[in-house]
Amino acid sequence: MIRIVTDSTCDLDRETAARLQVEVIPLSLHFGSQAYIDGVSIDRDTFYRMLSEADRLPTTSQLNPMDVLDVVSPFLEQGDEVVGIFLSSKLSGTFQSAAIAAAMSESGRFYLVDSQNVTFGLALLVHVACRLRDEGKGAAEIVSVLEELKGRVRLVAVVDTLKYLQMGGRISAASAAMGNLLGINPLVGVIDGAVEAIGKTRGKKSAYRHLLKLVEAEQPDCSYPVYFGHTHAPENVEELQRVVKPALAGGAEIYRAEIGSVIGTHVGPGAAGLAYIAK
C-alpha cells in the first residue's frame, strides 16, 4: 500500500486530508511562551484573532526526525511504501528532518520530495500524489512525476496589509505606513523554493488583474487541479477566483485552502492567491 505523508504547512483541512487519505504531521506554533500544535490545539479563527492582537509575530518550530518517524514507522513495519512531501527546504529544516528519519528507518521504502513550495502550492503536489496513488502508481513513480512537476508549480498571491511584513522586519515602519496610506498591495510568489516579492499595485482590484496577466502568461495545465488560498478572507479569494476565471477555461478542478500559521504569520489576514501547474 502507498501512504502519502506531508506536514501541516500544506494547509489541507481535516476533512480534505481524510478524503484524500493523507497523513498530516503538525508543526508547533509559539505565541510568546505558549506553544500550540498547528491545526490541532489552535484553529484558524483563533490563530488570526491572536495574530491581530499580537505585538510580536509568533514563531514556528520545524518537525524533528522523531516527529516524522512516529507517523511513518507503523506504515513501514507493515510493509507499506511511504511518499513524504514536505515544505520547501529553503523555508524550514523540516525536509532535512524527514531525510534523517528516512535514513534512520533503514527501510528503503520511505521516499521523499522537497516540494520547493508551501501552503496551497504544497497542497497541490500532495493532491497530485494522491491521484497517482489512486491510479495504481508505485512510490518511486509518484516521486519521479512530482520531481518533474514541482518546477512547474506557480504560487502567486496578493497581500492585503503591510503591517505583518513590517513586524517581521521585511520592510521598514516608514515604508509600511506610507504603503498602507497609499493603498499598496504587494504581490508575492514562491520562486525557487523561497517566498519573494514579485511586484506591487495600488488596490486589490488592480492586484487581482495583475495576477490574471501572470496566469495568462504562463497558462495552467488544466489536467491538474488549481488551488486558491486565502488568509481568513473568503470574500477576497472569491473575488480573485472570479477575476482569474477566464484563464481557467480548460476546466481544471478548483479547490480552496485557508492559509495557516507559517505563511499567515508573515502576510497577515486578507491575502489571497492561487497555485497551479504551468503548461
190: CATH: 3.30.1180.10
The three-class DSSP label of residue 248 is helix
On whether both 11 and 124 belong to a single domain, the answer is yes
Q: Please give the pLDDT value at position 119.
A: 95
DSSP per-residue string spanning 165-201: HHHTTSS-HHHHHHHHHHTEEEEEEEETTEEEEEEEE
Which residue, of 150, 175, 200, is where some domain finishes?
150
The Cα 248–Cα 33 span in angstroms is: 45
pLDDT, residue 173, reads: 52
Instruction: Answer with the one of 133, 150, 167 that is the final residue of a domain.
Output: 150
User: What per-residue confidence (pLDDT) applies to 55?
Assistant: 86
Please check whether residues 125 and 220 belong to one and the same domain: no
206 in the same domain as 76: no
Last residue of a domain, one of 150, 169, 202: 150
Contact 40, 26 (CB under 8 A): yes
The pTM for the full model equals 0.93
Residue from 189, 190, 168, 172 nearest 180 by CA: 172
Q: CB–CB of 24/93 below 8 Å?
A: no
Across the beta sheet with 34-37, the strand order is 34-37, 28-31, 59-61
pLDDT at residue number 177: 47
The dihedral formed by the CA atoms of 179, 192, 232 and 244, expressed in degrees to the nearest 10: 90
Domain match, 239 and 109 both: no
Task: Give residue 243's domain range.
Answer: 153-277
Sign of CA dihedral 40, 46, 48, 52: negative
Can you give the pLDDT at residue 72?
97
Query: How many structural domains are present in the chain?
Result: 2
Cell 496610506 identifies what position?
Answer: 181
Q: Are residues 247 and 227 in the same domain?
A: yes
Q: Taking the chain (279 residues) in consecutive chunks of 10 residues, what is each chunk's mean pLDDT?
A: 97 95 95 90 93 90 95 96 97 96 94 97 98 97 98 94 66 49 78 88 92 94 96 96 90 91 88 96
- Residue 41 is which amino acid? S
The verdict on 141 and 157 lying in the same domain is no
